[in-house]
Amino acid sequence: MRTYLDIHYNTDDAQCLDLYLPECESFPVLVYFHGGGLAAGDKARQEAACQYLAEHGIGVASANYRMYPVAKYPDFLEDAANAVAWVFENIKQYGDVKEIYVGGSSAGGYISQHLCFNKAWLGKYGIDPMDIAGFIHDAGQPTAHFNVLKERGVDSRRLIVDETAPLYYVGLDEQYPPMLIIVSDNDMQNRYEQTILLVSTLKHFGHTENVTLQVMHGNHCAYVRAVDEEGISVFGKLIASYIQK
């Protein structure tokens, strides 16, 4: 495994990423965004999963982004699109990369949903969501994010589908890339139900064959940092299985 840490995709201290790459010459890459409510977390948070993926032939670009309280909506979305664009432009320096995936957990899942369903974010860099080999939306909030609501002085428990909600854009495009949507059966309050609504809405618009729902057991994102009885990353195995399929 090859690692390259703290590579800046832009000038702010938060705008950097870590690369975990396999030793082989040809491999897919996952651009991954961590969770933490858009207010906490770090790109090294899922190091075990990143290492597992790299050791099994899948590269990872784990990216940081600007967060509350310094950042405001939509700084983190702009950063995420910027990070994906950096990978598109620069990853060939590190190997023969034929497929680029995008994903994230919790707040990172909210981010990955936005990049998937709202073409404007990646479009700024001449990238279409259909250029992405697949998305992995892990426990993301498809409605207006609770901290975005808090920023606007709105009760963070509200379910609002406006321009800040990924769900708002579902149905505007005829095609979406393949996607894996993950949620826990005992996720944070209302997250499971919102995720099922996202899946149902995609199916309502005819997107069935390219949408895979994976329901995990336990609390919100508990599997993300968990290891199995053999000490292997549960999340890493789940992502590898999807990408290698």
Kindly report, residue by residue over 30-86, the tens digit of the pLDDT.
999 999 999 999 999 999 999 999 999 999 999 999 999 999 999 999 999 999 999
Rounded to whole angstroms, the Cα distance separating 96 from 129 reads: 21
Return the domain boundaries, the chain: 2-244
Length of the chain: 245
Which pLDDT value is given to residue 119?
Answer: 98
Which pLDDT value is given to residue 245?
Answer: 86
Share of the chain above pLDDT 90, in %: 98
Mean pLDDT of all residues in 176-195: 97
Q: What is the mean pLDDT of the chain?
A: 97
Q: Which residues of 176-194 are buried (b: 16+ CB within 10 A; e: fewer)?
A: bbbbbbbbbeebbeebbeb
Rounded to whole angstroms, the Cα distance separating 238 from 106 reads: 16
Q: Express each pLDDT in 128-175 by its tens digit.
A: 999 999 999 999 999 999 999 999 999 999 999 999 999 999 999 999
DSSP line for 125-142: TT--GGGSSEEEEES--S
Contacts of 78 (CB under 8 A, 6+ apart): 121
CATH of the domain spanning 2-244: 3.40.50.1820
Global confidence as pTM = 0.97
Share of the chain above pLDDT 70, in %: 100
Do 175 and 212 touch, CB atoms closer than 8 A? Answer: no
